[in-house]
Structure 1
Amino acid sequence: MVPELTVTDFTASLYFYTEVLEFQIMVRRSDPEFAYINLGEAQLMLEQYHTEGWNTAELVKPLGRGVNFQIEVDDIKCVLTRVRKHGVPLYRDLSENTYRIGKTEACQREFLVQDPDGYLLRFCQFIE
């Protein structure tokens, strides 16, 4: 599954994802502005809001209410350092959490941040 996020300021969103978070651009096109991006195996699509888009209702910030996108990374401290370097406020600070999965438990370090439109991103690194 690859989520496509409608964004209100494509330039700001692309900067946030590529410069702050270091996603790579896989595909880029214009009219409307669009980018298919990835960070490791995590993939997202960004599309500038336009009236012909798949808009089911008026967009009111924060966008993406009720959903968070978990992005698994190999080095969470590296991502957190970049976020802090750019002065991006954290939604939730770095913590270690354990989740029960059937009869086993998974432990991960994670923090949450919102993108320029308010989409909630949860970066996590599994702990052995």
Structure 2
Amino acid sequence: MTIPSRRSSAIALGLLVATLAAGAGFANSGTATQCGIAKSTQGGMLALEGTILSPVAVSGEYRFAIQSSGNGGSSNISQGGYFTANANQATPLGKVLINAGSNYSVVFDVTAGGKKIDCDQDIASLR
């Protein structure tokens, strides 16, 4: 089946507009996708949780890696994989518990919509 050129041009334009609209959440500050690391305590341990919040439904891949050291020893933890997050809903993407007094470093990044986002910053909460 052959699609007339006018119709195929209209379809292509519609797909382009839809693609731009879907990616708009990553480009516009104020409505951009937010991500970061939430800290809390659980049973005397420090909980680190990678979280993402987007104004539009989004899917992609994430990497959440922690190196920690302290009196109890050291650890290297790496989590990651594919995810899907609903619009306007904070979605956890990885979580670890380490000794509360440990020194640690975190690498948390998200790739979605063809863009890589560095999410290493601490967050109190996402809105």
After TM superposition, the score normalised by the length of structure 2 is 0.24
Greater Cα radius of gyration, structure 1 or 2: 2
Identify, as 1 or 2, the structure richer in strand.
2
Give the number of the structure with larger relative contact order, counting CA–CA contacts within 8 Å between residues 6 or more apart: 2
After TM superposition, the score normalised by the length of structure 1 is 0.24
